[in-house]
Amino acid sequence: MRRTSCALASWCFGAWVGCAVGAEDPPVSEAGPEAAQIPQFDPFRGMDRDGRIPKVRLPADVAHPERWRYIPEGRIKPGNILQRFMVSSFITPIFYFEEAIGAGGGVSITDIDFREQRRREFAGIFAAHSTEGQERYSLVWQRWLAHRDLAGGGVIQEERTWLRGVLGYNRTLTRRFFGIGPDTHERDETSYTDESAYLQTMYQVSLPHPGDDVVGSFGVRGEHHNLARGRISGRPSTETVYPQLVADGDSIDSLWLTAGLRYDTRDSQHNPYRGWMLSALVDAAPLQTGEQSGAIGEVRTVGVITVPGLFHDGGSSDEENPPTDVIAIGAFVQWTMGDVPFYHLPSLGGSDTLRGYIGDRFTDRAAWHAGIEYRMWVMPRGFAISDTIRIERLGLAPFYELGSVASAVARLRDSRVHESFGVGLRAELERTAVFRCDLGWSREQFAVNVAYGLSF
């Protein structure tokens, strides 16, 4: 079994630490009558004691109200990042160990009410370092551009329209490469070190109005990559087996431009219960070191069907986010145009595709993938850790996936098809915040993948 990320375990540990050290509201001051007039924070304002959130009436001019997320006043706690701990801010320790990279640790700090903008902005800081020199640092900021306060308290937020910025530096000692094509073997594994720095901005907007079916996305990303020898014992370094590929991908500066358009009828971008979408996207690098240029194209579709709940009655129509079981089906095709480094080629395996295989297990100039999941909520009301800290619900998601890679789209139909299956564990803080741990099996191995958000 391969080593896997422990982000979810660390997040749970962070929640436990929050309870142990105490994340309670500060004591009421007795400074005088003015202080006494400050309203006390009510963690249940706009929601029931069991975590159920009654549906509220939205303003008449809000189109597609099912695509706006209601956040009750009880989830908008005032105060600094420590006073809002485990309500709208999270501090998570991270620990890991692997022979090739040594013992490592770090911290993830996320604030979903950055600058106290009533849940309009998000900011995250991630930092980790290992004893062998693996490093990872990143800053993420996002602002939702369709956001409104409600007269009765709380806010509504449309998921489709936002602006995001990302800055990061990674020195990954254990990137794996198995060669090009669908017929590579597990014994073909090589490894390399990838040192990268990147700066990215992304803008997404629904057209012509917030919540409408047409969604456009636009982005600019600058990258720098340096490659070095791999660190996995018993396996050759990638530069020894594939010297030309590594030479072409080393010391590369590139500018990437992203443009996408999709038709999307789903009721949510993060955790849909019904609807479908069809998208087309191009990620192009017109400027690369060596005067080369290239691009990756993609066509993707997702469909979601509501089914009767196995462990619950589906809640009620007057509930903001009732427990809802669904069957989700997703598929995509990707292809390469021009020249891009081997680590940017379409690949399968890891946390989002063929989850029974290690990340980037199959690589080539084109790829297809299809998957189906049965997402069910086993604990529909979750549980409370304190008045302000609660897990909204817990669930399972059996899945099955197929996919392959080839040198061109036209050759995908003749390439060897790979499959994986498994079951995922789901923990939902709120509809837009789902953590998952997927246990996957394939003909080669058993794999564990931990991630934030759904795979499709």
Q: What is the 3 state secondary structure string of 150-196?
A: CCCCCEEEECCCEEEEEEEEEEEEEEEECCECCCCCHHHCEEEEEEE
pLDDT tens profile 365-414: 999 999 999 999 999 988 887 776 778 899 999 999 999 999 999 999 99
Residue 421, burial from CB neighbour count under 10 angstroms (0-12, 13-18, 19+): middle
pLDDT tens profile 293-312: 999 999 999 999 999 999 99
Confidence (pTM): 0.87
Assess whether pLDDT exceeds 80 at residue 290: yes
Assign 343 a pLDDT band (cuts: 50, 70, 90).
Answer: very high
The first and second tokens of residue 223, run together, are 């990258």
Predicted local distance difference test score (pLDDT) of residue 316: 86
How far, in Å, CA of 5 to CA of 344, rounded?
A: 22
Q: Is residue 156 part of a domain?
A: yes
Q: Is residue 87 part of a domain?
A: yes
Q: Is residue 2 part of a domain?
A: no
Residue-number span of the structural domain to which 272 is assigned:
7-24+37-452
Region 40-69 average pLDDT: 90
Percentage of the chain beyond pLDDT 70 is 91
> At 435, which amino acid appears?
F
Average pLDDT, the chain: 90
Residue in 180, 182, 221, 186 with CA at minimum distance from that of residue 202: 221
Assess whether pLDDT exceeds 90 at residue 342: yes
pLDDT tens profile 6-42: 433 343 333 333 333 333 333 333 444 444 444 688 8
The structural domain count of the chain equals: 1
How far, in Å, CA of 334 to CA of 157, rounded?
A: 32
Q: Is residue 29 part of a domain?
A: no
Q: Residue 413 belongs to a domain with what CATH number?
A: 2.40.160.50
What are the helix (H) ranges across 22-99? Answer: 33-36
Kindly state the DSSP code that residue 85 receives in the 8-state scheme. B
Q: Is residue 232 part of a domain?
A: yes
Mention every residue, 6+ apart, whose C-beta is less than 8 A from residue 398.
Answer: 373, 374, 421, 422, 423, 424
Phi, psi of 118 (to 5 degrees): 55, 50
Region 411-436 average pLDDT: 94
How far, in Å, CA of 331 to CA of 281, rounded?
A: 14
The first and second tokens of residue 72, run together, are 């009750």
Q: How many angstroms separate the Cα of 118 from the Cα of each of 154, 179, 288, 361, 451?
A: 8, 48, 41, 42, 26
Assign 98 a pLDDT band (cuts: 50, 70, 90).
Answer: confident
Q: Is residue 32 part of a domain?
A: no
Predicted local distance difference test score (pLDDT) of residue 39: 63
Predicted local distance difference test score (pLDDT) of residue 100: 82
Region 282-287 average pLDDT: 97
User: Dihedral sign, CA of 17, 21, 22, 26?
Assistant: negative
Query: Is residue 336 a contact partner of residue 366, using CB atoms and an 8 Å limit?
Result: yes
Q: Is residue 1 part of a domain?
A: no
Q: Is residue 126 part of a domain?
A: yes
How far, in Å, CA of 113 to CA of 75, rounded?
A: 10
Predicted local distance difference test score (pLDDT) of residue 99: 81
Candidate from 36-50, 56-70, 246-260, 326-340 with smallest mean pLDDT: 36-50
Region 73-92 average pLDDT: 89
DSSP-derived pairing of the beta strands 252-264 and 418-430: unpaired
Residue 441, burial from CB neighbour count under 10 angstroms (0-12, 13-18, 19+): middle
pLDDT tens profile 178-220: 999 999 999 999 999 999 999 999 999 999 999 999 999 999 9
Percentage of the chain beyond pLDDT 90 is 77
The number of angstroms, rounded, from the C-alpha of 390 to the middle of its chain's C-alpha atoms is: 21
